Structure 1
Amino acid sequence: MPRVSGPVDPSRSLWHLLGAVLRHWRECQDLSLKDVAKEVLVDWSLLGRWERGERPVPRDVVKRLDDYFGGDGVLIALREVALTGSASTPVAGTPNVQDAVDMDKLRRKLLAGVAMVGVSAVVPPMEGLEHLRAVVDHNVGASGLSEWEEVAWEYGLQMASRPPAMMIADLSLDYLAFQQAMVANASGHDMHRWRRLNARFAFVLADALGSAGHARESRRWWGSARRAAEQADDHEAMALVYASEAVQGLYEDRPAALVLSRVDSALALTSGRPCQATARALGARAHALALVGDHASAHESLDQQARVFDALPDRVTRDELSMDGWPEFRLLHTRSLVYALSGHSAAARAQREALAAHPSGRPRPTVQVRLHEAISAVRDGDVEEVLEQARRTVEGLGTNVNWFVLRTAQWVADAVPPRERSRSAVIDYREQLTLSRGET
């Protein structure tokens, strides 16, 4: 068995990092220096020096080593990064972004993870690829404002269909990269656009965290989104943050008084003007009032919301894809839920209209309306049958379930008549919901 060499500290330099990866891969295959040197046609003592980070690896040799270990370009990329990182003179015009952390040390720490990747890896660690991309951007120019606007717009589209837990990691990394770009590039006449985009990223991240069930984190991010919108002096964005936080707060069991205060803040900013923020805020008010039992006021808020919807411009009501739209199915969805919670006699009709209006390809809101039907049915029908159907409906979403769906499913159990709540079917249903959201 080949002797295991002493450790290499990958944090000393990028050449030490490359050597640490090379040694890790060799020892994972239980090979000696001489075994590898023979296959790649080099002197084994030179190979040892490269592993110890004592000398740069020639381009042709690193290519043979990468091919031999099946590295899929990892060693080649590391060599290019090491060459760039070793340069003593920075390229003119390169931004120096070191607000809270030493970015060079951070990159080295992230890159050190490459050393833990076995030779069977299909691609290099994502952090390593990001570092390589940073080197490329260093030479060709970083992403501009218009590119970041497109990234934010695309995340807004994904909110309706992509599982939020899967989206958060990508979104947070892109938001960090955006922050670096904003610090380096935001100035003069473009400053307002950068700040508005900053508020939009914070809004989407807050919304995604809440959708994934991370209530504590989302509350903090709603605060960040509010401050970002204030910095941008964008009253409509501020109103939308308040209204959306109110909607999400209803699904997180936040106090009704707090939710209604957020609604009031949103409406004060819009002065009741027909816009998406006003429509959302009125829907949140109707929902909150239905939960506390003020059904008459809840229904009046729905009527106000309908009047706002009728006055919205076509570009808003016809936009069924992006987060900037507020189409008719949102109006009907809110009415379906509020009528179910308040026991309105027209609940069944409202639910049919909502189901008919929901666009195809968006299973989550459709499942929610099915649960609205269950809220209405469980009061009068066979509790066990209704709960079983509701459970299967939620399970049908698989990994695409989010917190809004799970909380709506809990409202189904809350609607069970008090005399029926001790039944085993009700207890089992609640326990299954608890497990499905990862609680113990």
Structure 2
Amino acid sequence: MAPHPRAQIVDRLRKTAADQQWPSWRLTSEIQQQADTPTLLMAWRLAMGVTQEQVCQGLRGLASDDGQQCAVSCQQLSRWEHGKERPGSFYRRLLTRWYRTNVDRLGLGDDPISTYPAYAESEEDPLKRRTFLGLAAAVPMITLEDVRKGLDSHLGVTISTADVDHWRDVVIGHASTYGHTPPAELLTGLTPDMAALAELCRTHPHQRDLHVTAARLAGLIGAAHTDLGHDRDAREWLHTAARLADLSGDNETSAWIVMAQAMTALYSPQLAHVIAIADRAAPAIREAGPGAAQLAGLVARAHAQLGRHTEARQALRQAQTLADKLTLAQQHETFFGFPGRELAMYTSQVLTATGSADAWDAQQIALNGYPDDDPMDRPLILLDRARFLIARDEIDAAADTAAGAITSLATHQRVPLLLAQAAAIGGLLAQADARIAADYIERIAA
């Protein structure tokens, strides 16, 4: 390998893959064959162009998203990549999710990898294995001038500012329909644009603004999956969005993605995970823009629901402090920003969960910020009001409020997230009055 360093081979194959639009499995297979990697696992990492530390961070993040601990180190990953040890089932599952493939194609399955051909014969690149071996016999003389020219060539492959602005407008257009278009329909509508953006990111890996735009669209997809109750899909898309945001180096976008991850966790059984997600974000991210302000609000809601009233009030004050620093544009942006009405909603939810006597007034302030036909936040505030009424033993009023929040919506607007919250209200009503609870369940099911 000395005359033909592995890194050079990998770089060449990655460039060929980008030019000819190879699938990731083909690129991985070529790298294993031509760069003579000890394992397919190493070939996958080289194909992605990431470091061992980045993979380890990704695995730890995936495990944390599931509420589990992962202590994988670069040394451990190196042993797996060199075939000295074999990862257990827990780590194999994380690796398949990180690389978005199956255990067999990672070389970690029970079946011989030879039964999984890299690609069909008809797809094979004209540069055959024998051609590569012939080229490998010649030792290239690489100079710094060659390196400089290669960098210039790479940096010259850019898309115009007008094109970047176009894609930013496309994402804003999709985001503007969120909450008004059924989530499944929204996902269908944006799929072609996400595919086109993904291709642009692949062919222009250095273009920062492009990754910001792709991260936001991936985050929108994650939010739609959250509304549909597709927790796994939401986590996967938000993980991809986080990686795109990290590549962009834009802390504000990263903060928004972290917030979206916390939002998904807020409606899961593992409520404490909201706080864990926020805690593991870098300080610069926790202070950056609308996402940071909203994240602090989510942390306040999580603390309140967990009975940690002091921590909830502290986090709510932090949310207010960060919100006060936002520009007018950030305050008026309804999806990627943090409007004052959302902070009012979070305040009402925190006061409700902590049993504050001021909760009713806070709910009213929050409700006044939304139109009567708002299909998501307003129903959530009304369901919270129903919880407040149950705590005051006003069972009939609570049932009427919660039922009205759901029955006022068109059928396609009754997304799984809302129905799950409505069902939780039914459980609380049943503890107080079985008859009222049964009538309530019948009304929201109609």
> If the length of structure 1 is used for normalisation, what is the TM-score?
0.60
* Deviation for aligned residue 1:167: 0.7
Residue matched to 1:412:
425
Residue 335 of structure 1: how far off its partner (Å)? 1.0
Is the Cα–Cα contact under 8 Å of residues 372 and 408 in structure 1 kept in the other structure? no
CA-to-partner distance for each residue in 1:224-264, whole Å, 9 max, x for gaps? 111111222222222221122112211122x2332211111
Q: 1:303 to 1:183 in 2, by over 3 A?
A: closer
Residue 432 of structure 1 and its aligned partner are, at CA, apart by 7.6
**For residues 248 and 339 of structure 1, what CA distance do their matches in structure 2 show?**
21
Radius of gyration: which is bigger? 1
Which residue in the other structure is 1:374 paired with?
386
Whether the 8 Å contact between 1:285 and 1:298 is mirrored in structure 2 is yes
Out of 241, 261, 266, the residue aligned to residue 250 of structure 1 is 266
Aligned twin of 2:221? 205
Q: In structure 2, the residue corresponding to 1:345 is in which secondary structure?
A: coil
Match of 1:221 among 237, 240, 245: 237
- The equivalent of 1:158 in structure 2 is 177
CA deviation digits over 1:35-55, x for unaligned, max 9?
xxxxxxxxxxxxxxxxxxxxx
3-state SS, counterpart of residue 253 of structure 2: helix
Residue identity matched to 2:313: H
SS in 2 for 1:256: coil
Distance 2:311 2:242 in 1: 28
Map 1:52-67 → 2, pairs under 5 A: none
Task: Quote the Cα distance in structure 2 between the aligned partners of 1:431 and 1:176.
Answer: 42
Q: 1:401 Cα deviation (Å)?
A: 2.5
CA distance in 2 between counterparts of 1:278 and 1:146 reads 24
Alpha-carbon distance between aligned partners in 1 of 2:348 and 2:376, rounded to the nearest angstrom = 15
Per the TM alignment, residue 207 of structure 1 is displaced from its structure 2 partner at its CA by: 1.0
Give the conservation status (yes or no) of the 8 Å contact 2:226–2:234.
yes
Once the two structures are TM-superposed, the CA of residue 411 in structure 1 deviates from its matched residue by 4.3
CA contact (8 A) 1:267 1:281 kept: no
Cα deviation code 1:262-292 (max 9, x no counterpart): 111346233535x212211111111111111
Tell me which residue corresponds to 1:232.
248
Q: Which residue of 1 aligns with 2:120?
A: none
CA 1:390–1:187: 2 relative to 1, 3 Å: closer
Instruction: Report the CA distance between 1:359 and its aligned residue.
Output: 4.7
Q: Which residue of 1 aligns with 2:323?
A: 309
1:174 maps to which residue? 193
Residue in structure 1 matched with residue 296 of structure 2 by the alignment: 282
Corresponding position: 1:293 with 2:307 = yes
Give the 3 Å change call, closer, same or farther, for CA 272–183 of structure 1 in structure 2.
closer
Letter paired with 1:173: P
Q: How many angstroms apart in 1 are the aligned matches of 2:184 and 2:163?
A: 28
Shift of 1:182: 3.9
Equivalent in the alignment of 2:31: none
In the alignment, which residue of structure 1 is the partner of 2:356?
344
Deviations 1:20-69 (A, max 9, x none): xxxxxxxxxxxxxxxxxxxxxxxxxxxxxxxxxxxxxxxxxxxxxxxxxx
CA displacement at 1:328 relative to structure 2: 0.7
In structure 2, the CA distance between the partners of 1:196 and 1:263, relative to structure 1 (3 Å rule), is same
Cα distance, 1:187–1:199 mapped onto 2, change above 3 Å: closer
Give distance in 1, aligned partners of 2:199 and 2:237. 19
- Corresponding residue for residue 97 of structure 1: 21
Distance 1:301 1:146 in 2: 35
The RMSD of aligned alpha carbons is 3.1
**CA distance, structure 2, for counterparts of residue 221 and residue 405 of structure 1:** 21
Q: In the aligned structure 1, how far is the partner of 2:416 from the partner of 2:252?
A: 26
Question: What amino acid sits opposite 1:176 in the alignment?
Answer: A
Count of matched residue pairs? 295
Q: Where in structure 2 are the equivalents of 1:374-393 lying within 5 Å? A: 374-393=386-405
Q: 1:425 to 1:101 in 2, by over 3 A?
A: farther
Following the alignment from structure 2 to structure 1, what is the Cα–Cα distance between the partners of residues 364 and 338? 19
Structural mapping, 1:23-172, within 5 Å: 96-99=20-23, 144-172=163-191
Write the distance in 2 (CA, Å) between the matches of 1:216 and 1:392. 30
Q: Unpaired segments of 5 or more residues in structure 1?
A: 1-94, 103-142
Contact map agreement 2:399 2:429 (CA 8 A) in 1: no
Q: Does structure 1 retain, via aligned residues, the 8 Å contact 2:390–2:428?
A: yes
> In 1, Cα distance between the equivalents of 2:353 and 2:232?
26
Q: Aligned letter for 2:21?
A: V
Residues 1:347 and 1:385: Cα distance change in structure 2 (over 3 Å): closer
Write out per-residue CA displacement over residues 313-352 of structure 1, whole angstroms, 9 at most, x where no aligned residue: 22212x144x232111011011111222221110011011
1:427-438 to 2 correspondence within 5 Å?
A: 429=440
2:170 partner letter: V
Who is 1:272 aligned against? 287
Q: In structure 1, give the amino acid aligned to 2:406.
A: V
**Equivalent residue number for residue 426 of structure 1:** 437
What is the TM-score with the length of structure 2 in the denominator?
A: 0.59
Counterparts of 2:198 and 2:168 in 1: how far apart (Å)? 13
Distance 2:175 2:354 in 1: 32
CA contact (8 A) 1:243 1:266 kept: no
Q: Which residue of 2 aligns with 1:401?
A: 414
CA contact (8 A) 2:245 2:254 kept: yes
